[in-house]
Structure formats: structure tokens, C-alpha cells
Structure 1
Amino acid sequence: MPKVLGPRALNRALLARQFLLKRQDRSAESTLEHLVGLQAQAPMPPYFGLWTRLNDFEHGALSRLLLERQAVRIALMRGTVHLVTARDSLRLRRPLQAAIERGLYSTPGGKALMGIDAAAVAAAARIVLEERPRTNAELGPLLAARWPDYPAEELVRLTRCMLPLVQVPPRGIWGASGQATSTTLEHWLGAPFNEDATIDDLVLRYVAAFGPASVQDAQKWSGLTRLGAAFERLRPQLCTFEGDDGRELFDVPDAPRPSPNIAAPARFLPDFDNVLLSHANREHILSEEHRARVFTINGLIRATILVDGRVAGLWQIDEHKDTATLTIEPFAPLAKRDIAALTAEGKRLLRFAAEERPHRGVRFTSPKAAKGRRAAPPKTK
């Protein structure tokens, strides 16, 4: 009989894989590869995602990767923008392409594209995007001039599904601003896709970074379907466990699975952190009761605090002139030791996020005051 892993055991394993039990002495590049990227549909969360996982992480370490084209922002898992290394962009996009395309015609707007020659649109878009990087507002009219019977915004969406587009700097650079301006991955990197990459490789990477996990978990993370066959092919390389709900869980044999009793430090997770997005069953880190507070009705996944390894509230930073205030909204009353730990960690966060502001402070709202609120996402760089 396989060993049963309860929610706390799964929680500690996930935290260990995600470098949330102990900060690591690693490069930003190697961390991105271990985590299979960081979700980056907003420009700044990856900086906070690396800060909370690495010792002595500095903004420039990630900015340099983007400026030197060693990392890129590209649509991958679940069709959402991720920040990954250049190497990973060339080996991950092809196995995920079917999942990215599958959602193209599923919306009312997408149905307006029925009958169009998608390959012809993609080919035309490639030419103009490789002339120079362009925004959606620039690309749409160029395509609509050739296909006037179709909405410009849907022609852009088709392009973003069919072509591997990267958002180029200054988008995503700490302290800079810029519209999402794109060109093709191959043109930006001057390199071809890794044709040897497979779905099995993707599954192994996922399990190592997020396991132990079920087939359904891997499908949730990737956006792919019918991954059961891949897990069966990989079964001889994997070990198996059972969740307390009877699910079969897979893992790589040498991955860390700490004792459920090990202490977990206070941590601050950024908006859209993949820890909260990469399992079909999230109960080991986020209760269903609190899910609606974190996942908003307009598609945001808010920045959260971890207490004893689980989501226990929200945070945001407000900056004004020479002040920066970190506001923590706990979901329930916190023990004094947890308030002290979050305060200390919060001061470190403020030094990282707003070092130039001479007056920085941490404040807590009461759980009653926070109840039912859906505040704006954190105002960071």
C-alpha cells in the first residue's frame, strides 16, 4: 500500500520545493529553471517571488537576465505570461502549444474568428513583428487592414496564441515602465526551438518543483489535458503516494519531503504566485474559505502572507512621496509570535521594495475590518 500523505505533509513538501522553508543561495537564473518559471502577467511580481526565495537577491540580477536576453516573458503554462530562462522558453513552448491554441475559439470573441486562415494571419503577423517589436494597439490595425471582416483585437489574440511572442524590455525591468511590446521568440533570441523537448520532460519538471502531485494537478498547472498517459510512461521513474482523499500522487524519488512537524517561516508571496495556481486541490496551502479573498472576480490573484505554511492574509505596499507603508490584512487573529515574525519579514520586504523611501512602516488591519474587502493589488514598482 502506498504511504498516505496528509495536507500538512504535502504542504511542507511544496514549501521545500519552492524554497519557502529556507531561502537559498542560488542564482536567479537557476532558480527560474528549478521553478519552471514564475508567472508574470504583471511585470513586477517575479522580483518579489525571487526575493522571498533567495538570500541577498537584488533587483538587478533579474533585470540583467532580461536585458541580456537570458530570460524572457512569454505565454506558456495555462496560456499566461511567465518569466522563464531563454533555454526554457525554447524547450517549453512547443509541448504547450496545443493547450495555448485550444482556448482560442472558446470565447465569444474567439468564435468571431471561425473560418479564418489562422496560419496566414500568423505568417503576416510574424513579418511585421520581426520588422520591429510592436504593441497590440499597433499590431491590430495592421492585421485588420488585411482581414477587415474580423475584429482587430481578436486578430491580435489569434497571433498571440499561434506565435511564441516575447514581451521585450523595458517591460519587466525594475524601476522602468513600458507598454507590452512584442516580437517573436526566435527573432529575439536568434535561436531555434529545442525539438527534443517532450511532454514527459515537462511533467518531470513539474513534479520536481510542485510534487507530490496528481495527474489532475499537473493538468491544472500546465493547461494540458490527458496527461495520464505521460504519468504511466514515467511511472517506473517515479514513486507514488496517496492523498488522504484517495488521490494517487507522484513524485521524483530524490525530492525533499520534510517532516510535517518542521516549522515554516512567515513569508510574503507576490501576486499570481504559482504556488497558489499549480494544483487542482489547493487545500494544503489555501483553504476554500479564503480562496475568494485571494482569487478576485476580475482575474487577479492577490499578494498573500504565509503563516505556518498556509495562506493567512493579504498584503500591499502603498508609496507616497517619502513614505512606504506595508499593510497586512490577516484573515483571522494572529498570535503575537506570528505578528512579530511578519513584522520583521515585512521590514525586510520594505527595504527591498522601497529602499529610496526614508520613512517605512508595517501596519496590520483587524480581521473584522478586512472581512469581505477586495482591495486593489499591491502598489509596487
Structure 2
Amino acid sequence: METLSRRALNRATLERQLLLRRVKMSAYDAVEHLAGLQAQAPFPPYYALWARLSGFRPPELASLLENRRVVRIALMRGTVHLVTAADALAWRPVVQPLYDRDLKTNTQHAGEVAELDHDLAAKAARELLARSPLSSTALGTELAQRWPDVAPASLTHLARAKLPLVQTPPRAIWGKAGQTTYACLDEWVGAPLSPPAPASLIARYLRAFGPASVADVQAWAGITRLGEVAASMELRRYRDPDGRELIDLPELSIPDEDIPAPPRLLGPFDQMILSYADRTRVISDEYRKRVISQNGLVKGTLLVGGQVRGFWELKSARKAAVVELAPFEKLPKRDLAALESAAGRLAGWAEPAAETREVRVHAPE
């Protein structure tokens, strides 16, 4: 069994995440290829596509949301992702055990809904949402009229767990503001959910993130027992430098580990640094603690030589846009110059109406 170096794994990840070079691809095809985009906050998916696609403009993704070809929905790991409507219909049934488990273990809501008939409450929520999308507060308030002894927030939590709820526009439409409002996925896109197919989910993960261990797949999906599924699939197998078995699709190849990895600015919550149990192929454990806060916020990052080497922040006020680069270590002059140039382009892309734009580089701490 072939052993892959960390550098080889890094280059394979960058290639499949469209980060070795900007590609000419539609936003829809990119969302599908990347197995969805992290979307805990409204706008990180736009930055994810900016980092990967040649000529990407926010209206392209906004149009897909408005036309219901892509949706924002809680999926893997219980977090909101932006995925194609087809993938949402296929994947929500696969990860449903995660949400069923949460209803029994959630410290804030499990006790509140323990005595309820969950299916009956979910049916009531579906009937309400069939009339029109509702905010979390409005949905909980409506359900509390039927179950007045249960906290409205807990009733909304139950509905989110039992039903495939999408967040509807104008939430996450570039340049617009909107509170979170929900609709049922199948009614929103006009198609039924698919039977659970975990093997298909594993294959899609590997196409976007492989080669990877079963533990990596499970960390991304948020569900267990995928090793049994992977064992039944026709997969190529490798080992990593620590001797762990890695799986991959047999038709996919590994790029030359000596291929250059250009400097990149990755957006906040970028999925490349969140989708592995062992993330050291792209970020050291030390730097991970500086990028991901204790409450789960993930900064935009500086990618140099294929590894995270710092973070960036965009600040805008009074028609001025400033991108601040904060490297964790001294970077080669050529790479730092490339990052500064990219930061200038980012400021122009994200804040086109700004009258002044500036890039500031902080000394490593």
C-alpha cells in the first residue's frame, strides 16, 4: 500500500479544492464540485468562490439562491451549508441521525421537548411553514399556541431537527440584510427527499477532499459507522505518514507533490480547514488555535506554500476599505507581495463603492 507524504496530501487537497489555480467554472458547478460551502454566516460562501474561481461576481451566487438552485440548510456536523438543491435533498436524510441524537442530548432543549410527540410537533410546523416562511421566533410562537408549556425556542429547535428547513432569501443575498426565515426544503424546491445513500455521500466527500481517512469523513459529516459503508465500496487505499489508512476514489489521481502552491486568501469559515479530523495537511495545531476561536468563529486565512500562515480581516467604514494581513511568521518577500496584491483585489471586489482602499501588513507575533 502506497504511503503519501503530508506534502502530497496537501497538494491533493489543494487541487480538489480548486486552490492550485483559479478555474473557469460556474458558481453552481463549483458548489457541487466542492461538496457544498460552509455557511454559518451569510457571506463566507461568496469569499470561498472568489478565492477559487476566475471572474466570480456575487450576483451569480445570489441568483442561484433566489432561483432555488442552491439552498442554505443545516447539514453536516449540524452546521449550515450552502449546497445545490439536489445535494440537500440527497444528504439531509443521510445525516438525520445527527439531528435525532441532538433532540435527546441537547442541554438546552432536550428536556423541554422530551415529553412531546416529536412527529406530531413536526407535522404542525410543516403545516405552518406551508403557508409562508417564518422566522425562528414566529415559528416558535405559533407552535407554542398548541404547546404552551414548552419554551417557543425549544419548539423551533425541534422543528429544525425533525424537518429539512432551508433559510430563505433575502438572507445571504450579497448586499442585502435579512433575518433567518425557514421553509421546508422539499416544498421550497418542489422535489422529494431521496432515500439515504451514505456511500454516495462518502464518494462526494472524497472527490472534494480526498484522499482521507474514515475518521476524516466522519468528522466532516458528523455521523459515525461510515467505516462499514466504506469497506463495501470499491476504493483505492493509501497510508499517511503516521500509518493511518486513507481511502480515495479509484479514478482520481494524486498531483505531483512538487507542484507550486500559489499564495491565497481564504475566506472566513473556509471548508478546507474544517473538513478533516486531522487538519495538519493544511494547518498546524498551533495555528489552528489562532484561527478558530473558542466559540467557533473562523477567520479568513493566509495560505502560503499550501499551509495556513496567518489570517486577514476586512474592515470598512465611511467609504474606506482596509484589509489587514496578520502573518504568524516571517514570509518570503515574493509570497507577501502576492498576498498584498490579492488583498488589494479583494478590497475592490468586496467593497466596490469604497473611495479609498488600503492594505496593512502587521508584523508577526
Same-fold status (TM-score > 0.5): yes
1:104 shift after superposition: 2.4
Q: 2:258 aligns with which of 251, 261, 286?
A: 261
1:59 is aligned to: 58
Q: What letter corresponds to residue 238 of structure 1 in structure 2? A: L
Partner Cα distance (2:129, 2:333) in 1 = 55
2:213 is aligned to: 214
Aligned length: 364
2:226 is aligned to: 227
State the TM-score, normalizing by the size of structure 1: 0.93
For residues 39-188 of structure 1, what are the structure 2 equivalents within 5 Å? 39-112=38-111, 113-188=113-188
Secondary structure in structure 2 of the residue aligned to 1:66: helix
CA contact (8 A) 1:17 1:256 kept: no
Cα displacement string for residues 91-144 of structure 1 (whole angstroms, at most 9, x for unaligned residues): 111111112322222222133122221111111111111111111111111112
Structure 1 position 36 matched with structure 2 position 46: no
**How well do the aligned residues superpose, as a CA RMSD in angstroms?**
1.2
2:191 is aligned to: 191
Q: What letter corresponds to residue 23 of structure 1 in structure 2? A: R
1:356 is aligned to: 353
For residues 360-379 of structure 1, what are the structure 2 equivalents within 5 Å? 360-368=357-365
Partner Cα distance (1:152, 1:366) in 2 = 49
Q: What letter corresponds to residue 258 of structure 2 in structure 1? A: N
CA contact (8 A) 1:211 1:251 kept: yes
CA contact (8 A) 1:60 1:174 kept: yes
Partner Cα distance (1:218, 1:25) in 2 = 28
1:168 shift after superposition: 0.7
1:297 shift after superposition: 1.1
1:255 shift after superposition: 2.1
Partner Cα distance (1:120, 1:331) in 2 = 53
Cα displacement string for residues 322-355 of structure 1 (whole angstroms, at most 9, x for unaligned residues): 2100001111122211110101111121121111
State the TM-score, normalizing by the size of structure 2: 0.97
Judge which range, 338-347 or 217-226, deviates more. Answer: 338-347
CA contact (8 A) 1:76 1:100 kept: no
**What are the ranges of 5 or more consecutive residues in structure 2 without an aligned counterpart?**
none
Partner Cα distance (2:194, 2:171) in 1 = 26
Structure 1 position 323 matched with structure 2 position 320: yes
Secondary structure in structure 2 of the residue aligned to 1:150: coil
Partner Cα distance (1:183, 1:270) in 2 = 28
CA contact (8 A) 1:78 1:100 kept: no
**What are the ranges of 5 or more consecutive residues in structure 1 without an aligned counterpart?**
369-381
Cα displacement string for residues 270-313 of structure 1 (whole angstroms, at most 9, x for unaligned residues): 12111111110001111011111111111212211111111111
Q: What letter corresponds to residue 351 of structure 1 in structure 2? A: G
Q: What letter corresponds to residue 287 of structure 1 in structure 2? A: S
